[in-house]
């Protein structure tokens, strides 16, 4: 089976850096995705990691350690518009999502 854990809520201030962690257990691994979901909207793709290491894309970076079953999403120079839910999803035989981390960015 699959199990994905991430914190329920996080808060941060504008301009700060925040790291959202995700731990997972899965039988079969074809990569890990991070999605962003604003309230009332559909999830949108942020990043994909299949090999160990850091993938950087602008203000967002994602890290993967397959041996530890661990990933994190790093958001730099936080903006108010980054307030959203961040979903960790593991690709095994199907793409399974965690419950999401609600990030609140304040001024």
Partner 1 sequence: EAGVAQSPRYKIIEKRQSVAFWCNPISGHATLYWYQQILGQGPKLLIQFQNNGVVDDSQLPKDRFSAERLKGVDSTLKIQPAKLEDSAVYLCASSLVGAGNTIYFGEGSWLTVV
10 binds partner 1 (CB under 8 A): no
Distance, in Å, from the CA atom of 107 to the CA atom of 95, rounded to the nearest integer, reads: 35
Tell me the window of 13-21, 58-66, 72-80, 97-105 that interacts with partner 1 (CB under 8 A). 97-105
45 binds partner 1 (CB under 8 A): yes
Cβ atoms of residues 64 and 52 within 8 Å? yes
Closest to partner 1 by CB, 49 or 78: 49
Tell me the window of 10-18, 56-64, 67-75, 95-103 that interacts with partner 1 (CB under 8 A). 95-103
Distance, in Å, from the CA atom of 91 to the CA atom of 11, rounded to the nearest integer, reads: 28
For residue 69, report the phi and psi dihedrals to the nearest 5 degrees: 60, 50
Out of 33, 34, 63, 72, the residue judged to bind partner 1 by CB under 8 A: 33
**Those residues with Cβ within 8 angstroms of residue 35's Cβ, 6 or more apart along the chain or in another chain:** 43, 44, 45, 46, 86, 87, 89, 97
What residues make contact with partner 1 under the rule CB under 8 A? Answer: 30-31, 33, 41-45, 48, 50, 87, 89, 91, 93-100
């Amino acid at each position: 089976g699959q199990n994905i854990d991430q914190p329920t809520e996080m808060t941060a201030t504008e301009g700060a850096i925040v790291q959202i962690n995700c731990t997972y257990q899965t039988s079969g691994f074809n990569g890990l995705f991070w999605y962003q979901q604003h309230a009332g909207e559909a999830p949108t793709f942020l990043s994909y990691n299949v090999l160990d290491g850091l993938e950087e894309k602008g203000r967002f970076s994602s890290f993967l350690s397959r041996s530890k079953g661990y990933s994190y999403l790093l958001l730099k120079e936080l903006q108010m518009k980054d307030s959203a839910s961040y979903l960790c999803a593991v690709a095994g035989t199907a793409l399974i999502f965690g419950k999401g981390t609600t990030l609140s960015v304040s001024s």
